[in-house]
Amino acid sequence: MATEARDTTAMVLETRKSGIEVVGDIPWGTHFCFFYDTKEDLVDTLISYCKAGLENEEFCLWVVAEPLTIEEAIDALRGAVPDIDRYLADSSIEIVSACDWYFQGGTFDLKRVTAGWHERLARASARGYAGVRVTGDTAWIEKKDWRDFCEYEEGLNEAVANQHLAVLCTYPLAACGAVEILDVVRTHQFALARRHQTWDVIETAGHKQAKAEIKRLNEELEQRVAERTSQLMLASEALREAQTELAHVNRVTMMGQLAASIAHEINQPVAAAVTNAHAALRWLDAEPPDLYETRQAVAAIVKDGYRVGEIINRIRSLIKGAPSRNDPLDVNEPILEVIALIRSEVQRNGVSLLTRLAEGLPLVQGDRIELQQVILNLIVNAVEAMSGAGEGARELLISTEKGASNAVLVAVRDSGSGLDPKGLDRLFDAFYTTKSNGMGMGLSICRSIIEAHGGRVWATANVPQGAVFTFTLPGDEDCTT
C-alpha cells in the first residue's frame, strides 16, 4: 500500500502543459470541461490544447461533432502545427467523428467508450508516448441521451484517476440550459467558459481540495528535498573527512614501512657530520692549528645538518594531518622530494632509478603533500613489484610531460612482474589487493587524491615487461614552470 501511495503521489505531481493560458499546467488524471459560444472559440481552444499535447510527446485523440468536421480540424491544425502531416502519418494524433466514437453499433454505450480511452492509453504506452490527451465534443447529445451521458461523465472521473490521461469535454453553450450546466460542472473537476473572448473558470469543491492537496504535497516534497540535500552535504563532508584521515593513516603506515630506509637516509649525513667534527678537532690540535681545513670541515658539518633537517621536515610534512591546500605547483618538485626521501629504499632493493622530467611544464593547482603521497605509493609499489619478479634488470623510470589540453602527465614505469589482466578493472578499488599482507587501500587513495585534483589515474602494461601507472593533472593555462 505504501508503494502505491508513493506512485500515486508522484503521478499527481507530474504536470503537463495544457496549452490553454487560463488553465496553465494540469496533472495527469484531469477531467475538465469547456463551454464555448462560437465555433471559432472551440477551434482556437482545442488547437492550442492538441498542439501542447503533441509537443509534450503525448498521443492526442480529438473527437469532433457537427458543425465542426474532421477536414476543418485538420486544416486548423495545419495552420498552427508545422509538422502536423508527420504527426498524422505516424498516428500521433487521431481525429474521429463523434458518431463513430460514441455510437458504434447505433447506441451509446458508456462502458464501451470508457474502454476505448483505456485501449488508446495501452497502445500509446506501448509506443512510448508519455500519455494520452483526449478531447470530445458533445454537440451530438439529444435529450434522451443526457442522463446516460451524465452518468458516463461522472464515471469518467474515476476512470481517468491515476492514469496518464487528460480529458477535455466541450459543450456548446447554446445547447445548455441552467440544469445542464449544473450537471456538467458537477461531473467535472472544473469548468471553463469562453464568451466574447472572455474566460471564466468554475472550480468545484473537489478541484479546490485537489489543488490544495497538490500544493501541500509539493511543499512537503520541497521540504524533503531540502532535508535530504542537507543530509547529503553532511554525509559528503563526513566522507571527505574520512578520506583525509584514511590518507593520513596511509602516509603514516608507509613511513613506518620505510623506517629502516629513512633511518639510513638520516644516518648518512649524521655520520658524515661526526667524521667532519673529528677532523675539525684534529686540525685545531695541530701546531699551528690549520684554520682553513677546520673551516672547511665545519662548513661540511653545517651542510650535513641542513640535509638532516630537510629530510626530517619532509617526513614531518608527510605524517602530519593537515587540511588540503590548493597551491600552484611545479609537479617535478614533489617528485624530486620523494626521490630524495626514498633513494635508500630503492638502492637497497637493487633498483636503478631514472628520471625524465620535462621542463617548462604548466603549473598545477593542488596539495603538495597529497601529490607526494601518490608518487610515494606508486614508487613503493613499483619497487615491491620488482623485488618479487626474480632475476633480471630492475629499472624504475619516472617521467613527466605535457599532455593534451595543457594537462600534465606523470608516469611511473617498472620492470616488475606486470599486471593481471583479470584484475585490471578492480585495481583502484578499495580493499582490492594482490599482496599477501596488503590492505588494498594505497591505489584507491591515489585515485581519490588525483580525482579530487581534477585528474585521473590508470594502469597499463609496460613493454617488454612490467607496469606503467600514469596520472594526469589539469595545468594552469597561464602559468608554466
Structural domains of the chain sorted by starting position, each given as residue range(s) with its CATH number in brackets: 2-203 (3.40.50.300), 258-320 (1.10.287), 324-481 (3.30.565.10)
Residues 395-445: tens digit of each pLDDT: 999 999 998 889 999 999 999 888 877 767 778 776 656 665 555 567 888
What confidence category does residue 249 fall into, taking pLDDT thresholds of 50, 70 and 90?
low
Question: Does position 289 have pLDDT exceeding 60, yes or no?
Answer: yes
Phi, psi (rounded to 5 degrees) for 175: -95, 0
Q: Which of 173-177, 362-366, 371-375 has the highest mean pLDDT?
A: 362-366
Predicted local confidence at residue 3, as pLDDT: 37
Residues 449-480: tens digit of each pLDDT: 899 899 999 999 888 888 999 999 999 866 66
> Model pTM?
0.45
In contact, 167 and 31? CB cutoff 8 Å: yes
In contact, 87 and 93? CB cutoff 8 Å: yes
Predicted local confidence at residue 412, as pLDDT: 95
What rounded mean pLDDT belongs to the chain? 82
Question: Does position 6 have pLDDT exceeding 90, yes or no?
Answer: no
Predicted local confidence at residue 457, as pLDDT: 92
Q: Residues 90-95: contacts with CB within 8 Å, 24+ apart? A: 92/54, 92/59, 92/60, 92/129, 93/50, 93/53, 93/54, 93/59, 93/60, 93/61, 93/62, 94/59, 94/60, 94/61, 94/62, 94/120, 95/62, 95/64, 95/70
Residues 11-47: tens digit of each pLDDT: 445 788 999 988 888 889 888 999 998 899 999 999 9
Predicted local confidence at residue 8, as pLDDT: 38
In contact, 371 and 449? CB cutoff 8 Å: yes
Which DSSP helix (H) or strand (E) runs through 197?
Answer: none
One-letter amino acid of 453: H
In contact, 361 and 331? CB cutoff 8 Å: yes
Question: Does position 128 have pLDDT exceeding 50, yes or no?
Answer: yes
Stretch 270-289: mean pLDDT:
84
